[in-house]
A and B are shown apart, each in its own frame.
Chain A
């Protein structure tokens, strides 16, 4: 990015954020996600009920769908499943008897329409999300970030979560970052001090990244983002609600679904401005194994976007 483009981007962000503030409008990222164990016999497998539904009091606009396979199979076997099984699992969405994209089940990679590969050295262990609308982290506000591994690693995995943005008044860049070392499946809260806005101006945060390394004793240092889940909540101003909403059995969102900008998941951008869900609205979602060769597979599906609070 040239200096001129960077300056223009900064000016636009400040204008957008300050304009929203002046109008009393607040945006926060949102994602709905589900964890679905697909029936291997070709039976239609519905998602968990009421997951993809706006349960808040404000409208939510969804712009992208993300999907990936879990690292482990349904039985949580220690062996990782073949990631190419994603080619043999079809999906469709339903909304008032209308199907998207088609009444036929379309294989998940066929939904992909966004090139998302970063460098192969980092793509497997990193997810990055450029928020559709940046959010404001006011002075003294912080973010609560919880992380969790899906299986016990042979040795500790380093987990890193960061947010990047600029100052509303100064235009300077801010980088909020925290790292944790996880060697179990215990849910861990990252340091809220690291995510606190200790400055004297609101921050406009526009991007977030999470990364998980390989177990530190392995020869291959390439990470695997599929084994990490996370949850984020803004404390202070904002809605103070969890950003990610999914089935009760999985209170943290699989981090691989965070890779809207770059990462390891399939990303589909909804046509036009995306889906607008008023409070109480939602969709249902179904999956189907397209081949009897697919072993019982666990699939992650996410819908990402933002909530608008006025």
Chain B
């Protein structure tokens, strides 16, 4: 959504707004028969105290190494994010009220929002394999549908998770950069920034030998090796919510640009520099033709965000939502804007069913037969201030 399309610029009658997302990620084993899978109702349940207005739907393949699989012989062609976005249809309903769609709707078949940047064309990995790098310059953008007004001294806490990735050492670690954009000031705007090393837990060697389509954990958020408490060596493996990826309220407040009062926040932007991950996956694949397209880390990084010392202080979405599903203005996900937003009152829920078509010629390996389907409904909560 373009910033210019924001519905209002000032709080209306004392109402405040905070972003919200209802999301789910489900691993479904593909079959040579058509399947209809109900997404857990609890994931699309408004458990908060405020009504939520949902105006966008996003769908994305989660935790994949490849956005588009190469059709080189022997590789499972449906084990990529692209298969999820092109094959899975949705049935959406609001129980006891209406069916948004009685028949399955392919989000691609509606009018997808323009959510892309041109990005680089092709790259060559150190082993000589040529591939198409991950998209959008690594950028994810969430333009808030309604500006978020934070009182003075209030802050936002954001966490970005560690990731599962192939095990290789290519020099520079992947790095993430995040900014909160706010309006006002001499330049008419300002951003509070945060950058962090993206920690990863390596996949096992057997997974690395077949990185394409391998989904090591079929649930989401996946488990990483638990923190070893007590005396002893520092654990070598990161936690899912590792402190390195935490944009704290302290860090947020330190960058206060004005003491004039409330801050008007309009967007969250995150850039993920994942070049050596792309190179590493390409090296593991070897030189294959046609060239594969690498998947963005935005589909592998979980997020959680809330306000501190102001606002509702509730998580904006169930912690762990993949970045690509919630930052849906620029994203590798497919995004559709609902013609008529859905409002869920507290204790109301959506009924979402995914339809997976019959897939012929399934590969033998279970992991390569698994589709990791991510779906989110995004919008905002209306809060009486």
Q: Do A115 and B179 touch across chains, with their CB atoms under 8 A apart? A: no
Chain B residues lying within 8 Å of A191, measured Cβ to Cβ, are: none
Q: Do B120 and A84 touch across chains, with their CB atoms under 8 A apart? A: yes
Q: Given A84-B120, A100-B187, list of 5 further CB < 8 A pairs?
A: A87-B271, A98-B186, A107-B177, A112-B117, A273-B188
Distance, CA A113 to CA B183, complexed state (A): 14
Distance, CA A266 to CA B116, complexed state (A): 11
Chain A residues lying within 8 Å of B179, measured Cβ to Cβ, are: 101-102, 106, 110
Chain B interface extent, by class: 35 or more
Q: Do A272 and B183 touch across chains, with their CB atoms under 8 A apart? A: yes
Q: Beyond A102-B192, A271-B181, is A113–B187 a contact (Cβ under 8 Å)?
A: no
Within 8 A of B (CB), among A107-123: 107, 109-110, 112-118, 120, 123
Chain A residues lying within 8 Å of B267, measured Cβ to Cβ, are: 113
Within 8 A of A (CB), among B101-152: 113-121, 123, 133, 136-139, 141, 143
Q: Beyond A82-B120, A87-B273, is A113–B190 a contact (Cβ under 8 Å)?
A: no
* Residue A293 lies at the interface, judged by CB distance under 8 Å to chain B: yes
* Residue A96 lies at the interface, judged by CB distance under 8 Å to chain B: yes
Output the nearest chain B residue to A272 by Cβ-Cβ distance: B188
Whole-angstrom distance between the Cβ of B26 and the nearest chain A Cβ: 28
Chain A residues lying within 8 Å of B237, measured Cβ to Cβ, are: none
A-B contact pairs, 7 of them (CB 8 A): A109-B117, A110-B177, A110-B269, A115-B114, A117-B117, A271-B266, A275-B188
Q: Provide the B328-347 mask, 1 if CB < 8 A to any CB of A, else 0.
A: 01100000000000000000
Output the nearest chain B residue to A100 by Cβ-Cβ distance: B187
The 5 closest A-B pairs by CB, nearest first: A271-B189, A109-B137, A101-B191, A117-B116, A83-B120
Q: In terms of DSSP, what is the predominant structure of the interface of chain B?
A: mixed
* Residue A53 lies at the interface, judged by CB distance under 8 Å to chain B: no
Chain A interface extent, by class: 35 or more
Whole-angstrom distance between the Cβ of A44 and the nearest chain B Cβ: 17
Q: Beyond A83-B121, A93-B187, A117-B114, is A269–B177 a contact (Cβ under 8 Å)?
A: no
Residue from A95, A99, A100 having most chain B Cβ neighbours under 10 A: A100
Q: Do B193 and A96 touch across chains, with their CB atoms under 8 A apart? A: no
* Residue A264 lies at the interface, judged by CB distance under 8 Å to chain B: yes
Residue from A84, A86, A275 having most chain B Cβ neighbours under 10 A: A84
Chain B residues lying within 8 Å of A291, measured Cβ to Cβ, are: 172
Q: Provide the B229-268 mask, 1 if CB < 8 A to any CB of A, else 0.
A: 0000000000000000000000000010000000000110
Whole-angstrom distance between the Cβ of A70 and the nearest chain B Cβ: 14
Q: Do A123 and B139 touch across chains, with their CB atoms under 8 A apart? A: no
Residue from B120, B123, B183 having most chain A Cβ neighbours under 10 A: B120
Q: Do A88 and B330 touch across chains, with their CB atoms under 8 A apart? A: no
